[in-house]
Structure 1
């Protein structure tokens, strides 16, 4: 099943290399983001399927979206080796086919790259069951000189070479604005503070959809 897709050869090659050489810290953050999940899960922006190996057996099904045509086959191969059933759909979340509500939604380094994160988060809220969870592991805006670097990078070449990644986004503010209640959140440095790259810090958290929604 195919919805809206993209073909960005440079980014696909870059992400394939990066995902094949993830650090232990990165893999542990992925594992922590998926810990204790259960039921039916929607994963947005699966990439090469880096999360699939870490889903707990309490998950009954993962529906994974990946719109990059050169990454989707790699994610499909990873799905075949996953410990839980994974269905890969080549589509953006904006063009995702209609589906039954999910128990949880997983976003890993994807909300930085969507065109309208506020609209996407409202859509994710809508596809969740009441009380369902959003699990997020995302780049976030930071203060100080690195925040200035993020803004400069986002306005120039960084999105062009990194699949539309924008590092200076107030992602947790957008999550709350979309109707989620953030239950737990923490920040982790992925690189030493002196490294002059915009994607240095990430947020890892859990947010819930109101039972009344």
Structure 2
């Protein structure tokens, strides 16, 4: 999916995925502290990054769509918070390393040619002890039709994420199951998702996340 595709999707003045944060993210609030530096990956129109900023975190939102990030900045202004943004293709972005206390990635779906490398880069962006929070559609989502790409290769089950992040993160949560989505026009209704919460090892035991 190209930047033009996403720019067109986000061109409507309305927030196509809504303005409220992802429900799984809000349930992880107890793991997140004020003052944390957070990378919000594929943050789109900013609903999750702005929510994090509203709880006192320093948020860097990155997305492929300049149109989406303009809307994210508008939402941040409306909510009275600060949001740093970067427009980038995550598959060739120069990812920061060991830079963030947390990385949040919600409903980013990549093909197998890019998925594992981007996931390694996400893990590598975490400072020692840093937290990764992630939710994505499961292959079973194809039966629901309530969001996500219509391509099983771009949907993730727990085994896929365990393979991608194995040895890079200590996994606290790795599960899949049904959930009810209410996230604008494109994520609406009963769905099947995969959820992960992991933590980067401390410096003395941290593996090389860039290793191939």
Q: TM-score, normalised by structure 2?
A: 0.69
In 2, the alpha carbon distance for the partners of 1:118 and 1:84 equals 33
In 1, the alpha carbon distance for the partners of 2:59 and 2:19 equals 24
In the alignment, structure 2 segments of 5+ residues that lack a partner are 182-187, 207-212
DSSP 3-state at the match of 1:172: helix
Task: Write the mapping of 1:154-193 to structure 2, written as runs, cut at 5 A.
Answer: 158=150, 166-167=154-155, 169=157, 170-177=159-166, 179-191=168-180
Residues 1:68 and 1:184: Cα distance change in structure 2 (over 3 Å)? same
Aligned length: 187
Deviation, 1:104, is 0.9
Partner of 2:100: 102
Say if 2:171 and 2:197, in contact at 8 Å, map to a contact too.
yes
Deviation, 1:66, is 1.1
Deviation, 1:98, is 5.6
In the alignment, structure 1 segments of 5+ residues that lack a partner are none
1:120 aligns with 2:118: yes
Q: CA RMSD in A?
A: 3.7
Residues 1:47 and 1:140: Cα distance change in structure 2 (over 3 Å)? same
1:51 aligns with 2:48: yes
Q: TM-score, normalised by structure 1?
A: 0.69
Equivalent of 2:77 in 76, 80, 93: 80
Say if 2:175 and 2:194, in contact at 8 Å, map to a contact too.
yes
1:92 aligns with 2:119: no
Partner of 1:201: 192
Q: Which aligned runs of 4 or more in structure 1 are off by greater than 6 angstroms?
A: none
Say if 2:50 and 2:72, in contact at 8 Å, map to a contact too.
no
Deviation, 1:57, is 2.9
